[in-house]
Amino acid sequence: MASRKLALGLTAARRLRSRSTVLVLSSPLLEGSTSTSHVAQSTGDAPGPSAVDYRSILPEDEYHKLADETIHDLLEKLEEYGDSLQMDGFDIDYGNQVLTLRLGELGTYVVNKQTPNRQIWLSSPRLSTFVHSGPSRFDWDAPTNGWIYRRTGANLVELLQKEIGELCGTPVELS
């Protein structure tokens, strides 16, 4: 009997997760507008805000152009930096749209494209930089002409320049 109740409960939970949620919001700020309410629709398994349609923010071809330019510029400048630096374990590699910078015992940086989100992701060995787990997600910001981490406002190139220079003990120019 208990297993049947559990099965019925799981079935009901699945049905609830698969339905759309529609919220109708009234706002006194909208008085005088032609509409007295706004409709926000969310679909999916998780509660919370709807997923952003990144295609409407930055077209895919423009995203690839900007992300590829940024990653290739970083690759060239980091290769030059590595040639001038005497450090065991310094290695830079680029393949499959992933830039990997190894700094020996100091750690590894990984910079890669995330096309569906129109982002560049960064994994950093510096634990103090980020208070969350996982990669940091940088979005293109046209007004600043750079990749910006929305949680902190950090610029990708400036952040890498600061961290790598501090870790290696020698300033690096990446911009």
Shared-domain flag, residues 35 and 83 = no
155-158: long-range contacts (C-beta < 8 A, 24 or more apart)? 156/70, 156/111, 156/120, 156/122, 157/70, 157/74
Q: Does 77 map to a domain?
A: yes
Low-confidence ranges of the chain (pLDDT < 70): 1-56, 127-133
Cut 0.85: pTM above it: no
Shared-domain flag, residues 138 and 164 = yes
Shared-domain flag, residues 38 and 62 = no
Q: Does 47 map to a domain?
A: no
Quick one: pLDDT at residue 134?
74
Give me the CATH number covering residue 144: 3.30.920.10
Shared-domain flag, residues 15 and 65 = no
Q: What is the pLDDT of residues 69-113, one digit of tens each?
A: 999 999 999 999 999 998 999 999 999 999 999 999 999 999 999
Quick one: pLDDT at residue 23?
31
Q: Does 175 map to a domain?
A: no
Q: Does 36 map to a domain?
A: yes
Shared-domain flag, residues 80 and 162 = yes
Shared-domain flag, residues 106 and 131 = yes
- Host domain of residue 110: 54-168
Q: Does 173 map to a domain?
A: no
Q: Does 59 map to a domain?
A: yes
Count: domains in the chain: 2
Quick one: pLDDT at residue 7?
45
Shared-domain flag, residues 102 and 149 = yes
Shared-domain flag, residues 21 and 103 = no
Shared-domain flag, residues 20 and 76 = no
Contact 91, 75 (CB under 8 A): no
Shared-domain flag, residues 126 and 159 = yes
